[in-house]
Amino acid sequence: MTVLAREQEPGSTFVVHPGADGAGVVRRTVLPGGLRIVTETVPTVRSVAFGIWAGVGSRDESIEDAGASHYLEHLLFKGTRKRTALEISSLMDAAGGEMNAFTAKEYTCYYARVLDSDMPLAIDVVSDMVTNSLIEPQDVDAERGVILEEIAMHDDDPTDAVHDEFSAALFGDTPLGRPILGTVESISGVGRDRIARYYRERYVPQNLVVSAAGNVDHDEVVRLVQAAFEGVLGDAAQLPTAPRIGGPGASPAAGVRSIVRPTEQANLILGTVGITRTDERRFALGVLNAALGGGMSSRLFQEIREKRGLAYSVYSYNSQYADTGIFGVYAGCLPAKVDEVLEICRDEVAKVAEHGITEEELERGKGQLRGSFVLGLEDTGSRMSRIGKSELVYDSLLSVDDILGRIEAVTLDDVRTVGREILGRPMTMTVIGPFEGRDFTL
């Protein structure tokens, strides 16, 4: 394990992981003002993925600010003091690059992937967007309509909506229980001044991480980022930053949330609170998840789809946050089959909670985790995401070998113990479908 140097002196460079034969070297530099830069060298490729991570997401929002993090994600593409929105997109298109952003519960990321020769352009454009956005009133009004359309599109897809409804059922009216996109009411009511203030408070250097992976030279990245952030960097102690809203809030409790819609398919999630992202048991829970519903050989897939043909899509999943998590089972089936599908899901969850998994499932789960992790690092974008997210939300950056070793070290007892604790908890259920008058609490 390589611990990130949190007390590193501004301007100094720290080798987080030495790599091998010049590849996989991860370096870290802290600039004045607290801006952190991490890079991973992959000299065998001709591309660079560059990202800026902001430590702000939907769980940092008050009720009045609901949806502000995602709103900002849209607005930062609308123009800066140096470039119009068209110039931003034209520059990246002319270079054959790709640029985008995403907002999560606990962070927001703006990124670009370009040829290595176009890295200075990517750094300049993305940094300019993050540090010099104008947040013009006319852009706020125009983008409001776009976001309302996005909310409508999301709500029209029950396979998406059921996950938001499940979070609301599990965490209640708390930041983690609210949708990332915000609501029609919150987006319709928020004004330019509130969003601009949110931007000024949250997008400060000590709350940002710059990450780059590919055919990069760390010192060059530092030089280009420092030039792009000119005038923004300063003494971190003098820069205000708003506090996080806090923990998940209301204590999760078992219950049923039924949303009546005239859909052709019922969409349901059965689940409970999981573990935090830094919990050492996350590797054992990952193996359990693979065995229960993580692939075509998993118990849920075999019992519900292969043997009985009751559903096309069925899987289990786990999500981790700073102070809590989610473990859930999803299934989409014909409304007439929902009772049978739900019964099988409950039975399989109960069996794993009581008896754990088999030796064969253990080895298969380990192999699935190892393969998906390593294959996921085959492109520069995933490597950039790994080091950027690790710097932002973890206390350490585990090397690839460290992670593979921890997966391999998982035992049947480890899986049984975490399964008994997580799956033995009272379950919350959310279902969307044509169930007028149906009481699922029975």
81-228-104 Cα angle (round to 5): 85
- State residue 247's pLDDT score: 55
Domains assigned to the chain? 2-238 (3.30.830.10), 255-433 (3.30.830.10)
**Distance between CA 355 and CA 113 in Å, rounded?**
46
- State residue 239's pLDDT score: 43
Q: What is the pTM of this model?
A: 0.92
- State residue 396's pLDDT score: 82
Instruction: State the angle between helix axes of 137-156 and 68-75 in degrees (0 to 180), rounded to the nearest 10.
Output: 120
Structure tokens at 54: 């902001």
**Distance between CA 435 and CA 161 in Å, rounded?**
16
Q: Check 73, 106, 303, 391 and give the catalytic one.
A: 73
Total number of residues shown for the chain: 442
**Distance between CA 319 and CA 311 in Å, rounded?**
23
**Distance between CA 351 and CA 152 in Å, rounded?**
39
- State residue 169's pLDDT score: 95
**Is 73 among the catalytic positions?**
yes
- State residue 3's pLDDT score: 42
| Cβ–Cβ < 8 Å for 195, 37 | no
pLDDT tens per residue across all 442 residues of the chain: 444 445 566 666 767 767 655 568 999 999 989 999 999 999 999 999 999 999 999 999 999 899 999 999 999 999 999 999 999 999 999 999 999 999 999 999 999 999 999 999 999 999 999 999 999 999 999 999 999 999 999 999 999 999 999 999 999 999 999 999 999 999 999 999 999 999 999 999 999 999 999 999 999 999 999 999 988 876 544 444 445 555 555 455 678 999 999 999 999 999 999 999 999 999 999 999 999 999 999 999 999 999 999 999 999 999 999 999 999 999 999 999 999 999 999 999 999 999 999 999 999 999 999 999 999 999 999 999 999 999 999 978 898 999 999 999 999 999 999 999 999 999 999 999 999 988 888 6
- State residue 252's pLDDT score: 57
| Cβ–Cβ < 8 Å for 195, 68 | yes
- State residue 244's pLDDT score: 52
Parallel/antiparallel/unpaired status of strands 255-260 and 428-433: parallel
**Distance between CA 284 and CA 40 in Å, rounded?**
28
- State residue 15's pLDDT score: 76
- State residue 236's pLDDT score: 47
- State residue 238's pLDDT score: 44
- State residue 19's pLDDT score: 66
356-286-419 Cα angle (round to 5): 30
How far, CA to CA in Å, does 228 sit from each of 97, 118, 198, 350?
A: 19, 15, 22, 55
- State residue 154's pLDDT score: 95
- State residue 395's pLDDT score: 78
For 119, the enclosing helix (H) or strand (E) is: helix 119-132
- State residue 111's pLDDT score: 98
- State residue 5's pLDDT score: 47
Q: Residues 6 or more apart from 233 whose CB is under 8 A from it? A: 31, 32, 33, 35, 205, 226
- State residue 152's pLDDT score: 97
